[in-house]
Amino acid sequence: MPDDSPSAADGGRPLRVAVVGAGPAGIYTAEALTRRAPVPVTVDLIDRLPTPFGLVRHGIAPDHLKMRAIRETLHRALDDPGVRFVGNVEVGTDITLEDLRAHVDAVVYTYGAALDRPLSIDGEDLTGSLAATDLVAWYCGHPDADRARVEAALAGVRRAVVVGVGNVALDVARVLARTPEELEPTDMPQHVLDGLAAKRVEEVTVLGRRGPAQASFTTKELDELAELADATVLVDPADLPGEDEPPPADRLVARNVDVLREYATHTAEPGRTRVRLRFYRRPVRLLGADRVTGLEVERTTVDAEGRAVGTGEYEVLPTDLVVRSVGYRGQGLPGLPVDQRSGTVPNEDGRVLRDGAPSAGEYVAGWIKRGPTGVVGTNKHDARETVAALLADAEAGVIAPHGDRDDLVQTLRARGAEPVLLEDWRAIDAAEVALGATRGRARTTMHERESLLAAVRAAAGR
Ligand code: NAP
């Protein structure tokens, strides 16, 4: 990376920033730093995976082809000469946070919120009980997916319950209800396509603990369920506000209720998968001896504060699979604190707080800053806020440019790490396209870290 242009930061070289996490938040941060700063900035965009794009690659549902195409736009920031992608490097393992901080003038943490939230009810450990994060990691080909656990859970599934009524719950329900023909144009790994083609899901229930007015899915995603080729969406009219009640004041809620009313007119059709959206039921426990056979739920009402209140009426939903889709949470890095309750790094406008005070040269953006909310584009504004704080600190002299340090990549290599740079990622990209072509697909995601690295080594002649 060029390191000789003049800088207002220390009069001799660009401001050096490491961004930890090459998902949308990290990429938008790198873009804002290189394009908006009044001083030259160079960015090392570090990721523990050999691939960039974070949740755009391993989170956005593979059947959302248009949404996933945002990686083409994100790639422009990776191509900027001021940005260096440094994949396959885990902060805390390949390099300590302390060491990294000594190499650069500032660090921005953008590594997201990868952990699932448990329901903390009995039976959650049974085979057939999964976190949405497990299933999503598997169907997106994340190298750390627990393939054995997910495939054991999916074996022989006829009925599934997805707990939670957010957009991730709808992603999971959709993918479970899709036909093999609908999934073929995706970039899912081949074993995932084959696994999903082998299942015979007859019914997927999406379960809200409160009412339709409190659901967090968005209308576009709700509407999209109607397009499923071989599934009928069903809603119990009893779960909807009465026709004589005033329409919901919130426009988004009103639009959702309109779509749900339309679904409530549907009837089950023989031979088609049923996607049931049910409300006012909260999970109590998963039933089964060694694998899930049912989910016990309690009926609820919603009180004046919008909280779910149990009615003391219970029912059992027979099911072979329970996927909890109740949100994500972030974790700390070794040496970086996280608030256990919110699952975010304590911060003020993106400045990391240690013991309640801003820590010079440390910033956060994305889900690890604000929690798991918003769409991909939300991270652009979020990253800009953080970068504004960083640049203000540079201007004010709060960030002290360190003396000359060895190049980060050379240091990592000297320590036995195998950083994956942009040209290496291009080799992976080409290998995935070539793998897809062997089956007439546009791309097939390679899901094993070793295969990804093998593609890099083959291209480099190593
Ligand atoms: P989310 O929108 O926060 O939804 C979580 C759901 O889990 C809520 O319905 C919540 O209900 C429920 N829940 C939480 N704890 C529960 C419990 N103990 N028992 C039963 N239900 C429980 O989270 P998400 O679906 O994981 O999505 C994360 C973010 O990614 C969101 O901003 C989402 O819009 C975004 N996303 C967007 C897309 C897209 O644009 N297509 C796709 C996927 C994700 P309560 O409200 O009652 O707590």
- From 310, 326, 342, the end of a domain falls on 326
Same domain, 224 and 169: yes
Give the confidence band of 97 by pLDDT, cuts at 50, 70, 90. Answer: very high
pTM: 0.95
282 among the known binding-site residues?
A: no
Same domain, 74 and 143: no
The string over 258-275, giving b where at least 16 C-beta atoms fall within 10 Å of a residue's C-beta and e elsewhere, is ebbeebbeeeeeeeebbb
- From 292, 326, 360, the end of a domain falls on 326
Same domain, 193 and 263: yes
Residue 10 falls within a domain, yes or no? no
Same domain, 178 and 87: no
Same domain, 290 and 216: yes
pLDDT in tens, 18-43: 999 999 999 999 999 999 888 899 99
- State which ligand 1 atom lies nearest to the alpha carbon of 169: 25
Same domain, 309 and 347: no
- State which ligand 1 atom lies nearest to the alpha carbon of 216: 2
- State which ligand 1 atom lies nearest to the alpha carbon of 373: 32
Residue 443 falls within a domain, yes or no? no
pLDDT at residue 239 is higher than 70: yes
Say what the pLDDT of residue 117 is: 94
92 among the known binding-site residues?
A: no
Cβ 163 under 6 angstroms from ligand 1: yes
Say what the pLDDT of residue 402 is: 75
Give the confidence band of 247 by pLDDT, cuts at 50, 70, 90. Answer: confident
pLDDT at residue 7 is higher than 90: no
Residue 149 falls within a domain, yes or no? yes
pLDDT in tens, 309-345: 999 999 999 999 999 999 999 999 999 999 999 999 9
440: left (phi over 0), alpha (psi -120 to 50) or beta: left
Residue 447 falls within a domain, yes or no? no
Cβ 210 under 6 angstroms from ligand 1: yes
Residues near 270 by beta carbon (within 8 Å), at least 6 away in sequence: none
Give the confidence band of 1 by pLDDT, cuts at 50, 70, 90. Answer: very low
Same domain, 186 and 312: yes
Q: How many domains does the chain have?
A: 2
Cβ 221 under 6 angstroms from ligand 1: yes
Closest CA to 350 of 373, 382, 393: 382
pLDDT at residue 114 is higher than 80: yes
pLDDT in tens, 51-81: 999 999 999 999 999 999 999 999 999 999 9
Instruction: Please state whether beta strands 115-116 and 328-329 pair in parallel, antiparallel, or not at all (unpaired).
Output: antiparallel
The enclosing domain of 299 has a CATH number of: 3.50.50.60
Same domain, 283 and 359: no
| Host domain of residue 345 | 15-114+329-420
E strand map for 263-408 = 273-278, 281-287, 294-302, 308-318, 321-324, 328-329, 347-348, 351-354, 357-364
E strand map for 11-136 = 15-20, 41-46, 83-86, 106-109, 115-116, 129-131
- From 268, 298, 326, the end of a domain falls on 326
Cβ 214 under 6 angstroms from ligand 1: yes
pLDDT at residue 5 is higher than 50: no
Same domain, 207 and 125: yes
Residue 133 falls within a domain, yes or no? yes
- Residue 139, both tokens: 């169907």
Same domain, 194 and 137: yes
Say what the pLDDT of residue 246 is: 84
Q: Give 117 Cα–ligand 1 centroid separation in angstroms.
A: 11
Same domain, 129 and 104: no
Residue 181 falls within a domain, yes or no? yes
Same domain, 144 and 22: no
pLDDT at residue 271 is higher than 60: yes
209 among the known binding-site residues?
A: yes
Q: Give 185 Cα–ligand 1 centroid separation in angstroms.
A: 27
